Amino acid sequence: MDKSIVEQNGVGPWCANALENVFHSPQISNDTCNASSTTTTSTSGGTTSSSNGTTEHFQHHHQDLHGSPAKKCRLRRRVDSGKKNRPPFPWFGMDIGGTLVKLVYFEPKDITAEEEQEEVENLKSIRKYLTSNTAYGKTGIRDVHLELKNLTMCGRKGNLHFIRFPTQAMHRFIQMGRDKNFSSLHTTLCATGGGAYKFEEDFRAMADLELHKLDELDCLIQGLLYVDSVGFNGHPECYFFENPSDPHNCVKKTCCLDNPFPMLLVNIGSGVSILAVYSKDNYKRVTGTSLGGGTFLGLCCLLTGCETFEEALEMAAKGDSTNVDKLVKDIYGGDYERFGLQGSAVASSFGHMMSKEKRDTISKEDLARATLVSITNNIGSIARMCTVNEKIERVVFVGNFLRINMVSTKLLAYAMDFWSKGQLKALFLEHEGYFGAVGALLELLKMTDDF
Amino acid sequence: MATCSRIGGGGHSMDKSITLPPDEIFRNLENAKRFAIDIGGSLTKLAYYSTVQHKVAKVRSFDHTGKETEDEPLYEISVQEEITARLHFIKFENAYIETCLDFVKDHLVNTETKVIKATGGGAHKFKDLLEKKLKLKVDKEDEMSCLIKGCNFVLKNIPHEAFVYVKHAEPEFRFQTTHPDIFPYLLINIGSGVSIVKVESEDKFERIGGSSIGGGTFWGLGALLTKTKRFDELLQLASRGQHTSVDMLVKDIYGGAYGSLGLTGDLIASSFGKSATADKEFSKEDMAKSLLHMISNDIGQLACLYARLHNLSRVYFGGFFIRGHPVTMHTITYSINFFTKGEVQALFLRHEGYLGAIGAFLKGAEEDNPNQYSWGENYAGSSGLMSVSPDMFPMQRTRSGTFDMLEMDRLERQLVNLPLLLDSSSYIPDTVDLTEDAMAREYWLSCFEEALDGVVKRAVVSQPDLQDARERAEKFRLKYRHKLQTLRHQPCAYGSLTVRSLLDTREHCLNEFNFPDPYSQIKQRENDLALRYFQKVVRSVEMLNWEDRQFALVKGLLAGNMFDWGAKAVSDVLETDPTFGFDEAKQQLQERPWLVDSYSKWIERLKGPPHKCALFFIDNSGIDIILGVFPLVRELLCRGTEVVLASNSGPALNDVTYNELQILTERIAAMDSVIHSGITKERLILVQSGSSSPCLDLSRLDKGLATLVRERHTDLVVIEGMGRAIHTNYYAVLRCESLKLAVIKNSWLAERLGGKIYSVVFKYEQPAK
């Protein structure tokens, strides 16, 4: 809806730019850019990159920040006014994944008149652009329902916005950053996810932007703990399903993630990472699987010709996987009692598709559903094994695969409950895929180390 | 014939006709009883128990009381019919099922069987057909318990059953030594789904997990993605594809490796992660490859999680997804290595396809107590492992479309480890693995091929009274030559290829065509001849002083060992010069220092206290045993050492058999008081080894022998001859003293060992303290 309105408007103040698709870039006069960029050319010129490639797993302290964007940040602060121990606006945290880029943006709502005056034009335009739209270009989306309101971060009050766009559009995003002279704002761009590494050079070369690269698992955990601690606009961030084994009475219930450790954190993005988290900064990656959200979407595209995650999920919601999968009862006529396998259990995912007749008559919806169910069950099964091997009784599922994906969340809840005989509860978080980006933003704010 | 739905794609249109006459496939049906059948998705495995009537050479002592004439032979050789039990397993495509059942029905004469045990997914579907055709009641057995039973059976009874697969290695198959204790283990059966079963004992097993993402997923999803119908065509597509165009790798996300986590750039981050786009076409090959990786990795990961949870390191993989396909064996192996960081090896089974049928059969045969016996793979009647790799052996590919057989003979005695092995789990009988040593393989295969004429000739001559001897000998030639050819192309067909397996295969093939003992007359003649010289040899040795006598005895033993029809160089000499004698042999022997020479150490030892009991694995008939071994045995007895003489249970070349040894000992005892008293006081004991091979596997010996060795506190093991001390056991480590003696009667081998023909190996070893 929002998207179409923006596109109909066509030439609104933020749409004049020819760079469509990602963001309709804010219009900024070149003069302003040049003016502000002159102030820090010297600092941004010395591009010493931070050495984030060797992050340790268990103790995550970024002490050595000399020459890092943070140092530049401090330098600029002194140049600016020296009155605030916080990084200059805009505050972004970015998580560049294999499929999606997740961007969180802190919109200050306590801007004083004086600040408003001082606020450089392009900074203002960015703020206005981001907060007054819910869709950016063809593929950028702001998840309005996730917005965290009246948040105090680093002494400032404001709203946290959650924005995502496909990683495929990354280059257009960088180009926009260049065209709008983002580097003149001298903000530190804290980025995590593989793309922080992959696109680092592009940011530098195309837009003169230095990324402050952060480990994605560090960010994930910090972001998750933070969002959980601030809550979701007065409600708990966390939820689970009551009666997971009873489809009619299975209901979503919120809960608190108090005393969350140790927890098994299953992050389902394009692929899946499974972490055992023992405390705020003590965790290990237990394992991972390449059968994740990317696999679901990739296979669905190939099997059904769909193009988006939403489309794939929509089809899946209508489909019936038992037309595709071979169940225990299809093989044994009923339960396989010798091994306590229920007749309704899936014996072979896509097993019916070995038969040509069945292939010829199967619907796209059924295929999409079967793909979703296979991938979800598989993740559930691996997660379940990890909880046993790691002796952890709490499992939290996050990642954008779970976005608008009630089929999977319920299935995971059911699987955990079933295989643990009720011992294990699957927990979910409302901000599914954004914790990495939030974690990156938190790193930016941490740079306000005081002297 | 039922039309099968298979399409002959990619120029691999397979011959649908039965390539062998059915009576060569369904053998010994006349006496067949106890049927079992395992009908899978595409293959049927039929199992039956039958008895084989075959000829065995027996020797019987004449009654010598009173008279003893010069020309009367030492003992009587007779050929008797003997009945032994054999298990037959035949694998064929489901398309042939009607034809095969008809044939079986027509040839079933003597059976009283009323039921057929059935297992496998197709058992239900074909129930009516089975009952109608065979007039047997179908008795269904649980698939998984059959599988486990079959798996236990092959692991226990077939040496080199399990192997590790190493792509691009030479050889690709690394066979594992049979571990005496096979439990516990994990069996991962990858059929349409995946079952993970923990097996703790013969009767105790549990399905500890599973996954719905298995062979059916590869097939079903693969068929949807590539419009390719057949499973093996999908595998072929996969083997040609590049998964990197479909999968999202770590480097696609990171631009390189994710170093801090140790994830390399080439790792798959998201299977099919690149195919989430409408604007690109993907090739069938690439999609099939990506799918194969996805499924293999997933299964490997689950297998590792379960192996870790249950602390199991032996993990066997089976099911149609694996079944001899190098492509899937490789991806599963890769995945297991990755997820366990090499701690767990993926193991595969040579007879994996037969497990269900074997298990179903065993369930129906419990009253025959099949588990109380030892069984041996009959190399003559078994097809061996055929690679189904499309590119490796195109010639043999067609075979997978026809018939595959496994035959197992019930052995008379139960076989166990020699208790004196230092570490039975790491014992490998064979000195050289010809699958690893291409040069040696080439040599031995040619050597056996060249010797074939002589063997055929010998076989014909051994049965002068039988009209069909020549015809059978020719059949033997064809069969053995075919085996050799098979082994040339597929050295791993029967496990590790060794000189022993080549020799054993030849014996099996000779037996197959009723040449139970081609050397019986030669052995008889030579025994007879040697006996006449026994006293003379003993006297000449007795005249010597102690030190000279010890040397003369060893030299005599070595010279005796030169009379060996098993060695081509020697059999040529013996063939042309029958008068070639003991003294000439002594002259041919290498002078000391020998090629391997620990004689001084041996002499030093002899100066010490006598051994308690010596176990002597003897070799050839005639001069070897009578003039070589017995004088030494006599000396040992005189020293106060008890002697156990272990001889083959059945014939192999001119090796002395247990029956023959009994007669010979009796005759020698009549001439020699030391031997006589040794026998009567049970200080000299004759036992059978349980083997019918010219080589020696110390992990498969007669149970009685093992018991005796324990009872007598054996502290010296003497192993004699090339077959037993060089081709096998050269590196065997025992917990007691051992003496390995042989004359190298093969110039190629001698050169390889750094010597010349008739070089001597005298290897005396003491256990590490």
Please spell the DSSP secondary structure of B681-724, one letter per residue: TTSEEEEE-S--SSS--TTSEEHHHHHHHHHTT--EEEEESIII
The closest CB to that of A325, out of B211, B212, B252, belongs to B212
Are A99 and B276 spatial neighbours (Cβ–Cβ below 8 Å)? yes
CA distance A1 to chain B (A): 23
Element (H, E) at A407: helix A406-419
Query: Could you tell me which residues are beta bridge partners of residue A242?
Result: A251
Does the beta-carbon distance from A294 to B260 stay under 8 Å?
no
Residue-level pLDDT at B661 = 96
Of the partner residues B209, B246, B294, the one whose CB lies closest to the CB of residue A291:
B294
Band (B580; pLDDT cuts 50, 70, 90) = low
**Mean pLDDT (whole number) for B372-392:** 70
Structure tokens at A295: 């696999």
Q: Which residue on chain B is closest to A60 by alpha carbon?
A: B260
Name the residue among B510, B353, B497, B523 with its Cα closest to residue B430: B497
**A215 exposure class (CB count in 10 Å sphere: 0-12, 13-18, 19+):** buried
Note if A216 is an active site residue. Answer: yes
Instruction: Specify whether the CB–CB gap between B554 and B524 falls below 8 A.
Output: no
Q: Give the residue from A181, A214, A180 showing the smallest Cα distance to A197.
A: A214
- Whether omega before B184 lies within 30 degrees of 0, making that bond cis, reads yes
DSSP B730-743: TT--BSSEEEEEEE
- Closest approach of A258 to chain B, Cα-based (Å): 28
pLDDT value of position B528: 87
Q: How many CA atoms lie within 13 A of B388 on its CB side?
A: 21
Angle, in degrees to the nearest 10, between helices B499-512 and B469-489: 150
Which among A215, A295, A374 is the nearest to B260, CB-wise?
A: A215
- Per-residue model confidence (pLDDT) at position A364: 97
Give the pLDDT score at A80. 44
Give how far B252 is from chain A: nearest CA, Å. 7
User: Residue A447's pLDDT band (boundaries 50, 70, 90)?
Assistant: confident
Residues A93/A438, Cβ–Cβ less than 8 Å: yes
Cβ-defined contact of A385 to B256 (cutoff 8 Å): no
Identify the closest residue of chain A to B256 by CA–CA distance. A198
Cα–Cα distance, A194 to A214 (Å, whole number): 10
Taking CA–CA distances from B335, the nearest residue in chain A reads A289
Find chain B residues with C-beta within 8 A of A269's C-beta: 270
- The answer on pLDDT for A23 being more than 80 is no
- Is pLDDT at A356 greater than 50 in this prediction? yes
Contact A271 B273 (CB under 8 A): yes
- Write down the mean pLDDT value for chain A: 83
How far apart (Å, rounded) are the C-alpha atoms in residues B433 and B167?
18
**What is the distance in angstroms between the Cα of A389 and the nearest Cα belonging to chain B?**
6
ipTM above 0.90, yes or no: no
Q: How far is B256 from chain A (nearest CA, A)?
A: 7
Name the percent of chain B lying above pLDDT 70.
Answer: 91
**Contact residues, chain B, for A294 at CB < 8 Å:** 248, 269-273, 276
Inter-chain touch B193–A351, beta carbons under 8 Å: yes
Q: Which of A216, A365, A430, A443 is catalytic?
A: A216
Count Cβ atoms below 10 Å from residue B245 Cβ, excluding itself.
Answer: 16
- Please report the number of interchain residue pairs, chain A to chain B, with beta-carbon separation below 8 angstroms: 206
Tell me if A301 and B306 make a contact (CB, 8 A cut-off).
Answer: no
Is A53 in Cβ contact with B260 (below 8 Å)? yes
Report pLDDT digits (tens) over B197-253.
999 998 899 999 999 999 999 999 999 999 999 898 999 999 999 999 999 999 999
Q: Where are the alpha helices (DSSP H) in A81-190?
A: 113-118, 121-132, 170-179
pTM beyond 0.80: yes
Q: Of the candidates A54, A287, A326, which has its C-beta nearest B216's C-beta? A: A326
Residue of B nearest to A419 (CA): B209
Most confident of B84-88, B339-343, B725-729: B725-729
According to the model, what pLDDT value does residue A71 have?
47
At A238, which helix (H) or strand (E)?
strand A238-242
Task: Give chain B positions within 8 Å (CB) of A56.
Answer: 260
Chain A residues inside the 8 Å CB shell of B277: 301, 307
- A351 with B248: Cβ contact below 8 A: no
More confident residue, A20 or B342: B342
User: Is the peptide bond preceding residue A90 cis, with omega within 30 degrees of 0?
Assistant: yes
More confident position, B129 or B277: B129
Q: How far is Cα A80 from Cα A88, in angstroms, rounded to an integer?
A: 9
Closest CB from A194, A289, A348 relative to B214: A348
The answer to whether B301 contacts A292, with C-beta atoms less than 8 Å apart, is: no
> Which has the minimum average pLDDT: A239-243, B341-345, B394-398, B427-431?
B394-398
Which residues of chain B make contact with A346, given a CB cutoff of 8 A? 193, 212
Q: How much is the average pLDDT of A342-364? A: 94
CA distance B511 to chain A (A): 44
Order of strands across the sheet that contains B404-410: B137-140, B115-119, B33-39, B43-61, B75-93, B404-410, B375-377
- Tell me the C-alpha distance between B25 and B91, whole Å: 10
**pLDDT on residue B353:** 87
SS3 B407: strand
Share of chain A above pLDDT 70, in %: 80
What gap in Å lies between CA A296 and CA B612, rounded to an integer?
A: 73
With cut-offs at 50, 70 and 90, classify the pLDDT of residue B574. low
Q: What is the spatial distance between Cα B604 and Cα B415, in angstroms, rounded to a whole number?
A: 35
Q: Is the pLDDT of residue B618 over 70?
A: yes
B559-568 pLDDT, tens per residue? 999 877 666 6
Average pLDDT value for residue range B21-40: 80
Task: Name B146's Cβ contacts closer than 8 Å, sequence gap at least 6.
Answer: B38, B119, B355, B356, B357, B358, B359, B360, B363
pLDDT bin (cut points 50, 70, 90) of residue B646 is very high
* Closest of A340, A336, A316 to residue A326, by C-alpha: A336
Query: Closest partner residue to B275 among A56, A301, A345, by Cβ?
Result: A301
C-alpha to C-alpha distance for A289 and A302, rounded to whole angstroms:
20
pLDDT 10s digits, B296-312: 999 999 999 999 999 99
B74 vs B268, residue with greater confidence: B268
pLDDT of residue A24: 44
Q: Are B620 and B563 in contact (CB under 8 A)?
A: yes
